[in-house]
Amino acid sequence: MSTLCMKCGVENRHGRLFCQRCSSRLRHATSYDLTISDFVTDGDLQVFEALKAMGPLLHLVYTTFVEPRLRGFAAKLSKKSRPNQEVESLAAECAEALALDVLPVVYVVNIGQPNAFTAGTDSSATITIDTSLVGRLSHSQLRALLGHEMGHIKSRHLMYHSVAEFLEHGIALSASMIGAGLVSVPIRLMLLAWHRESEFSADRTSLIAAGDFSSVATMFAQIVGEPPEQAGANTPLGSFIESFRNHPSYLKRLKSLEEFANSARYSEIRSRLKRRKTFEAAFAETCRFCGAPKGIEEIFC
């Protein structure tokens, strides 16, 4: 038995979650699927809408300065950088749980520090994981890591994230007249503030993919170490420095995620995804017994 890709028409072996040719999701979308509104924070949504209202400004920065660098980096990644089958299977399972339209390409390379990041476009994304993490993290922790990175893809924020990282590291734009003219300080601060807030949203997809709060917490600990005391965090100087960072503190993220994990909102999400898994064999355009056409979400013929 095979599954026909609805996008490119290629037949895939039964059981595959994403097309072997175009990486599109093979299973039908239903009302049981995870949506952006399920996990996005209010702060993420509000500031993101303000960023989109700026029109072509940030898109111009992305296409002029950021995208060429990302293409250069992608060109350096070889087939030797691809992960083993185990990691690829975990990636496909996480992408299916989060209902991504397209499976991102996962690379495992020596970044130089235990970390991971996502680049590319919303429809053609890549996730790069440091080699040391693959051997260090358990399956559930890897799910948490992949779920976090895929949360950025699910939210369709990759272009804005890339620009935020670009500005935060001060590459080219900080020293150029063009950059200074294009992106004013207030816009930079708003973009970085949104980037920090969007991490809270991605932490929620990390929890959804892993299904366990402790897996997310221990994954963070493997990457950043034990949470240090935030020296000066409550001082005016500490608040000023925080405004120029693009990631919130480890402790803030864990506290926020724990609140979400204990919420009715998360409980409803888990119940809905569990129902989808229970019914997924029935989600087809035709009855598997008699072949008669039926609605996708009709469980019985």
pTM of the shown model: 0.86
**Is 75 or 59 the better-scoring residue by pLDDT?**
59
Q: Please determine, for residue 9, whether its predicted confidence score (pLDDT) is greater than 70.
A: yes
Q: What is the DSSP string of the chain?
A: -EEE-TTT--EEETT-SB-TTT-BB-SPP-TTS--HHHH--HHHHHHHHHHHTTTTHHHHHIIIIIHHHHHHHHHH--GGGS--HHHHHHHHHHHHHTT-SBPPEEEEE--SSS-EEEEEETTEEEEEEEHHHHHHS-HHHHHHHHHHHHHHHHTT-HHHHHHHHHHHTT-SGGG-HHHHHHS-HHHHHHHHHHHHHHHHHHHHHHHHHH--HHHHHHHHHHHH-SPPP-TTTTSHHHHHHHTT-SS--HHHHHHHHHHHHTSHHHHHHHHHHHHHHHHGGG-SSB-TTT--B--TT-S--
pLDDT more than 90, % of the chain: 47
Q: Please determine, for residue 184, whether its predicted confidence score (pLDDT) is greater than 80.
A: no
Mean pLDDT for the stretch of residues 18-26: 96
pLDDT more than 70, % of the chain: 85
CA distance 209 to 98: 7
Question: Confidence band (pLDDT; 50, 70, 90) for 121?
Answer: confident
> Which range is most confident: 59-73, 103-117, 167-181, 231-245?
103-117
Q: Please determine, for residue 95, whether its predicted confidence score (pLDDT) is greater than 80.
A: yes
Residue 169 has a pLDDT of 64
Dump pLDDT digits (tens) for 188-201: 788 888 888 999 99
Mean pLDDT for the stretch of residues 222-228: 65
Residue 172 has a pLDDT of 42
Q: Please determine, for residue 206, whether its predicted confidence score (pLDDT) is greater than 80.
A: yes
